[in-house]
Chain A
C-alpha cells in the first residue's frame, strides 16, 4: 500500500503534466475548430476505440506476441554471444567486427527480403524485431562482461576458483547492470520494430490495422492504435525495469532518483 502511494507520489509530476496536455488537446481542438480527420480530440479517440475494441485487441495480441518473441530471441542470442566476445580474443577480433559491420546495414531496408524468404507469417516479424533489438543488447553486455576490475580478477585468481565459479560469483553480477541497460534499450526499440515489421507486409496486427485506418482517414483509430502500441512498449520496458530492481537492487538503489524513475 505504501509502495503504491510512493509510486503515485513519485510519478505524480508526469501524470499531472500528462493530464494537462490531454485537456489542452481536447479543448484546443474544439476551440480552434480543427477538423476531426486531422486531429480528433482524445474523447473521440476513446469512443471510437471502444466501438472497435475487440478487433483492435486481437491485433494487439498478434503484435505483442511477435514483439515478445523477437525480443526474447534477441536476449537469448545476444547475452551469450556477448559473453563469448568478452572472453575470447579470437571471437572479439574476428566475429565481433563482422557483427558490428552488419549492424550498419539498415535493417528496415532488408525487411522485405525476409518476406521473400519466409513469407507473410509470424517468423519474418520475429526476425525483424530480433535484428533491431539485438545490437544494443550485445554491445552493452560485452561492456558489462568486460567490466570486472583487474584487481578483483587478480584477487579472484589467487583463490584458485574454477572459471564457472568465477563467472557466477564475479563476472555475471558485475555485468548485470550493463546487461540491463542494453535490455532496456532493446525493450524501447521492440515496439518500433514490431510495427515496422507489420508495415512491410502483414494481414493482421496493429501495424496492418494502422495502415488500414490511415487509408480510410479514420484518424481517431490511428491515434488509438498509436496509444496502444506505446502502452505495449512501456509495459515491456517497465517489466524489464521491475526485473532489474529485483535482480540487482544494490545497483538500482545507488542510481540517483529520476534516472530510472521516469
Chain B
C-alpha cells in the first residue's frame, strides 16, 4: 500500500512569516520573520524554548491560524484556509469521549468521507504497533494520558497524508514508550515518505528523527540555526550512540546556551 515510490509528500514554503497575537492592548509577537523551505518527503524537526511560537508556526502551516505577515505554501499552493491534505497531532490528545479507541482513529476517515471499513485493518495494525492492541474497544477515559496520545498519533496518520504536522506528539509519553514511538515513526516515514514537520522539546529526539533540525530563538521566535543531520537511516542504536550524534546534540545545546535558554 505504501512503498514510498508512487506517493510523494508535499513541499512546504514558509516565507517571511510573522505572527502577532492581539487581545485588547495586549500584543504578543509570537514569531517573527520565519523563512523555511521543506522539500517533499523531508523530515524536519523544530526545537525551541517554551513559548517561542512552535505551535503557532505549525498552526499557520496547517491553515488553522492566519499569519499576520508573510506567505505559506503547501505543495505549491498558497495556504488560505484549513489544509485538508495533512495529518495533525496536537500537544494534548484530543479524543472524542464518546468513541472507543478504534472509532477515534476511524473518525478521521468518516469526516473525510472515506469508507472506515476499508481502513479498519490498517487502524488495528497501527494501534497494535503503538501498544494499544488490547485497548481498541476502550473509551478514552479508560486510558492513561500516554495511551490517549498514542491513539491521537494513529488518528493523525491513518489516512496516509502527504504532510504530517506533529506538535510535541511524544510529550505525554514515558521515556520508554517515547523511544519506541520514535523508532516506529521513523520506520513509518521511511516507508511512506510523507513530509513531516515535527515539533519537540527533546534535542536528541530531534537529531534522531530529522533530516534537518530548526533551532528557534526565545520569543519572538525566529530561526536561530538550521542544522543538517547527516546520519544514515534507520537511526539505530549504534548511530544514536555515535560521536557524531552527540556532536549534533551538543551543537543544539550550545545554541540554547548562547541565548540563555539553558544555563549552567
Known A-B contacts A160-B82, A250-B139; A155 and B97 likewise in contact (beta carbons under 8 Å): no
Q: Complex: how many Å from CA A173 to CA B96?
A: 9
Contact of A160 among B84, B88, B139 (CB under 8 A): B84
> Among residues 169 to 189 in chain A, which have CB atoms less than 8 Å away from a CB atom of chain B?
169-170, 173-174
> Among residues 189 to 219 in chain A, which have CB atoms less than 8 Å away from a CB atom of chain B?
none
Residues of B within 8 A of A155 (CB): 88, 90, 94
Residues of B within 8 A of A154 (CB): 59, 62, 64, 82, 88, 90
Q: Are B94 and A157 in contact (CB under 8 A)?
A: no
Contact of B111 among A165, A173, A248 (CB under 8 A): A165
Q: Are B98 and A158 in contact (CB under 8 A)?
A: no
Q: Decide yes or no whether B86 CB sits under 8 A from chain A.
A: yes
Which residue on chain A has the smallest CB distance to residue B65? A154
Q: How many interface residues does chain A have, given as a range?
A: 20 to 34
Contact of A170 among B62, B84, B96 (CB under 8 A): B96
Main DSSP-derived SS at the A contact region:
helix
Residues of A within 8 A of B64 (CB): 154, 157-158
Residues of A within 8 A of B139 (CB): 250
Q: Decide yes or no whether A156 CB sits under 8 A from chain B.
A: yes
Q: Decide yes or no whether B28 CB sits under 8 A from chain A.
A: no
> Among residues 70 to 102 in chain B, which have CB atoms less than 8 Å away from a CB atom of chain A?
82-84, 86-88, 90, 92, 94, 96-98
Known A-B contacts A151-B90, A169-B110, A254-B141; A158 and B62 likewise in contact (beta carbons under 8 Å): yes
Residues of A within 8 A of B82 (CB): 154, 157-158, 160
Contact of A152 among B87, B94, B110 (CB under 8 A): B94
Q: Are A166 and B59 in contact (CB under 8 A)?
A: no
Residues of A within 8 A of B84 (CB): 158-160
Q: Kindly provide the distance from the CB of A160 to the nearest chain B CB, expressed in whole angstroms.
A: 4
Which of B62, B92, B111, B139 has the most chain A CB atoms inside 10 A of its CB? Answer: B111
Residues of B within 8 A of A58 (CB): none
Q: Complex: how many Å from CA A251 to CA B97?
A: 8
Q: Kindly provide the distance from the CB of A256 to the nearest chain B CB, expressed in whole angstroms.
A: 13
Residues of A within 8 A of B90 (CB): 151, 154-155
> Among residues 118 to 139 in chain A, which have CB atoms less than 8 Å away from a CB atom of chain B?
none
Residues of B within 8 A of A99 (CB): none
Q: Complex: how many Å from CA A148 to CA B141?
A: 17
Known A-B contacts A154-B88, A158-B83; A173 and B110 likewise in contact (beta carbons under 8 Å): no
Residues of B within 8 A of A173 (CB): 96, 98
Q: Decide yes or no whether B2 CB sits under 8 A from chain A.
A: no
Q: Kindly provide the distance from the CB of B160 to the nearest chain A CB, expressed in whole angstroms.
A: 14
Q: Complex: how many Å from CA A152 to CA B96?
A: 8
Q: Are A151 and B92 in contact (CB under 8 A)?
A: yes
Residues of A within 8 A of B62 (CB): 154, 158
Q: Complex: how many Å from CA A159 to CA B88?
A: 10
Which residue on chain A has the smallest CB distance to residue B88? A158
> What residues make up the interface of A, taking CB atoms closer than 8 Å to B?
149, 151-152, 154-161, 165-166, 169-170, 173-174, 248, 250-251, 254
Q: What are 27 inter-chain pairs, A to B, with CB distance below 8 A?
A: A151-B90, A154-B90, A155-B88, A155-B94, A156-B111, A158-B63, A158-B82, A158-B83, A159-B84, A159-B111, A159-B112, A160-B84, A160-B111, A161-B111, A161-B112, A161-B113, A165-B113, A166-B111, A169-B107, A169-B110, A169-B111, A174-B96, A248-B98, A250-B98, A250-B139, A251-B97, A251-B98
List the 10 closest pairs (A to B, CB-CB), nearest first: A160-B84, A159-B111, A161-B111, A157-B82, A151-B94, A250-B98, A152-B94, A151-B90, A154-B64, A173-B98
Interface contacts beyond A160-B111, A161-B111, A173-B98: sample of 15 additional A-B pairs, CB < 8 Å, sorted by A: A151-B90, A152-B94, A154-B90, A155-B88, A155-B90, A157-B82, A158-B63, A158-B84, A158-B86, A158-B87, A159-B111, A165-B111, A169-B107, A174-B97, A251-B97
